[in-house]
Structure formats: structure tokens, C-alpha cells
Amino acid sequence: MKLSLVIGKKQILAVALLAVASAFAPECGAVIDEKFNIIKPKGNGPAARAYREGKRLVEGGAPEALKPLNEAIRLDPKMNSAYLYRGIFFMEREGYTRAIKDFDTLIKLQPKYIRAYMLRAYCYARRADWQMALRDYTKAIAIEPSVEAFTERSKVYRRLRQPDLAKRDLDAANEYWKKNYNQSEVAYIDKQLKGGSKNIRKLTLFRALRNRDQKKYREAIADFTKVISIEPEKGGSRVNYNLDQIYFDRAGCFENLKEYDKAISDYTSILKIDPDSDEAYLLRGKCKAAQGHWQAAVDDYDMCIKLMVDPGKTPFLARADAYEKLGKTAQANLDRKKALKLSLTGWEGSNLKPK
């Protein structure tokens, strides 16, 4: 299962931590997959006991967790799992530099452990070190592609003003989802929800995505709404799925149902989370245009173009249509010329299809 961390009352979703099995690594020589499972200590010596106590305290959010984890590492400097949980301890308290140092050590000890790269990437992103975050998400994808890694990397590309690559990663996340979550898994999700599973938030999100892909928009909206309403730490296994992305998904369902006021509300919620989301401005502007609110649409297109370092033709064409409706023909023609120029140079901005 995947975990995600919410820091304080901020809508900050940390990168997911893969929950490891509760038992220690088998002593009978069975091989574990080191891409997904942290190597944990065997036996019941002082270092192992200190680690288990520290892990328990970290999972409970207790500040006393640092002391036993420090002791575990002192007694066994090569204990992978102790570095993992001490890094999480620092990360939860926004001590990103110290967390990165622990994840560095963890990666040296277990170089194929995907969660270490995901967690370190999150810390780099919180420090606005986008290139280093990009490197780690890319490394995680190289080890094992996932919806989570593609989605997180797409957000880094957005920050780096590379909307074409951001869109490519979102498309890849969608394709990976459709390919890897088959009907048997969907049936399992439904069964778990009916059986009162503790992982309500995660399973409801998966079902929402399934319903959206099947164009069951009402059902998807109901599930997205439930996911938004559940605090991650109260929904069993926490979900690493950015809150703004959930709003994007729900807004898209509202748009398909032509419920533009509700879609606009969701795009506005996204902008409260990420004021620099050019995509949210563009899509909100299109909803306003669909309602005939042309000047309001122009205002959103203006913000979209302002935020995009290299705007593509899409916002210019959309703004040109709005200008035309407002009777501003000269400005509409100017935007169409800009869009044509961008088309001739091959730059499509956020509308660029992945090659």
C-alpha cells in the first residue's frame, strides 16, 4: 500500500512511502524485491528494538522518535530502515536538508529502493531544487514506472515551464493506469470497500479513476468528492495523489457534464493550492467562455499566457475567440497571428502531443 504525509494544516501532500510488511525479512533465505521493500533488521537485538520503537513513534507522529532512531543507527550504521524512518521524521518537520542526507545514505545501502528516490525528490521539490527533484523522479521511473512517479514528475516539469513534457508524463500516467489496473483489481477494490476496508481513501480514489475512464462521470464525481473530504491520516492508508490533481480530475468530469460552474469552482480551488498553474487558468477560462462570460475568459487566458514562459498556440486561439465575441477584432487577429507563428515553428505549448 502507499502512504502520503500531510504536514500541519497545509494542503501539502508528501511523496508516498511504500508500507513494508510488518514481519521482518525472512530468515530462511527467501529473496525480497528490493525495489519495493526496505531491508529490515532481523532478530531482537538492541539495534532492532530501537528501530522498531522509532518506527512506531514516527508512524504516530511523536517527536520522541528521533532518539531511538539515532540509537539504532549508532548501533548499526548500515541499518537501511532506520535511515528511512529518520529521514521521514525530518521530512515531516520540514527539515529537508537532514532528510535528504538520510535518504542519500539509504540509497547507497539499497540503490534500487524506489521509495528512497521518491522521498528525496519530494524534499528537493520542497526546497524548489527542481532539477534535483527531476533527476530522482526520473531515476524512480527508470527502476519501475508508476502512476505516482509520472504524476509527480509532470508537476516538476510544470515548475520548469516545460508544459509539453508535463503533459507527456500525465498521458503516461493515464496509460499506465489503464494498462495495469485490470478488471480483477477493480473487482477487488469494490469488494474491499463493501467490506469496510480501512484504506477507504486510496480505494475510493482508484474507483473514481476507473469510473472516469469508463465515462461514468456521476459515479466518478461522487468518489472524487469523497476522497477530497477524507483527511488522509483518517482514511487508513494515505494516498500519494496530489490534491490539485484530484480537483483537475473532478473538474474534467463536471466539464463533460457541462456543469461549468462546478468545474470553475474546482479550478479555483486548484489555484489556491498552486497559484502558478497556467493549466488551471486556461481550463477555467474555457469554462467561462462556454458560459458566454467572454471578458472573464480573457482575464484567465491573460494569466495563463503570463505564467507560461513559452506559451503555446492554445491560449492565444482561445483568447482570440473571446476577443471576437467581445467585438475586439483587431486583438483577435493579433492573437491568431501569434498562434499561426507558433504552429509554423512547431511549438504547441500545453497542447503539444507527446512524440
Residue 6 sits in the same domain as residue 137: yes
pLDDT greater at residue 351 or residue 134: 134
Domain hosting 27: range is 2-144
Domain annotation covers residue 12: yes
Q: Where are the alpha helices (DSSP H) in the chain?
A: 46-59, 66-75, 80-92, 96-109, 114-126, 130-143, 147-159, 163-180, 183-194, 200-213, 217-229, 243-256, 260-273, 278-290, 294-307, 313-325, 329-344
Q: How does pLDDT run across 302-345, given as a tens digit for each residue? A: 999 998 766 678 899 999 999 999 999 999 999 999 988 877 65
Domain end call among 95, 119, 144:
144
- pLDDT interval class at 39 (50, 70, 90): confident
User: Which whole number is the average pLDDT over 48-69?
Assistant: 89
The whole-model pTM stands at: 0.56
As a whole number of Å, the CA-based R_g of the chain is 23
CA distance 105 to 79: 10
> What integer pLDDT is reported at residue 175 of this predicted model?
84
Domains in the chain, number = 2
Domain end call among 124, 144, 164:
144
Residue whose grid cell is 469554462: 287
Q: Which of 22-36, 190-204, 215-229, 260-274 has the lowest mean pLDDT?
A: 22-36
Domain annotation covers residue 171: no
Domain annotation covers residue 331: yes
Count the Cβ atoms, other than its own, within 10 Å of residue 278: 24
Cell output for 150: 509520472
Domain annotation covers residue 172: no
> What integer pLDDT is reported at residue 122 of this predicted model?
92
CA distance 219 to 209: 10
CA distance 318 to 123: 37
Domain annotation covers residue 27: yes
CA distance 77 to 41: 12
> What integer pLDDT is reported at residue 177 of this predicted model?
76
- What percent of the chain clears pLDDT 70, i.e. is strictly above it? 77
Domain annotation covers residue 200: no
* CATH number of the domain enclosing 42: 1.25.40.10
> What integer pLDDT is reported at residue 26 of this predicted model?
29
Domain end call among 123, 144, 165:
144
> What integer pLDDT is reported at residue 43 of this predicted model?
76
User: Which whole number is the average pLDDT over 158-165?
Assistant: 86
> What integer pLDDT is reported at residue 30 of this predicted model?
33
Whether 6 and 231 have beta carbons less than 8 Å apart is answered as yes
Domain annotation covers residue 18: yes
Domain annotation covers residue 42: yes
Phi, psi of 3 (to 5 degrees): -115, 150
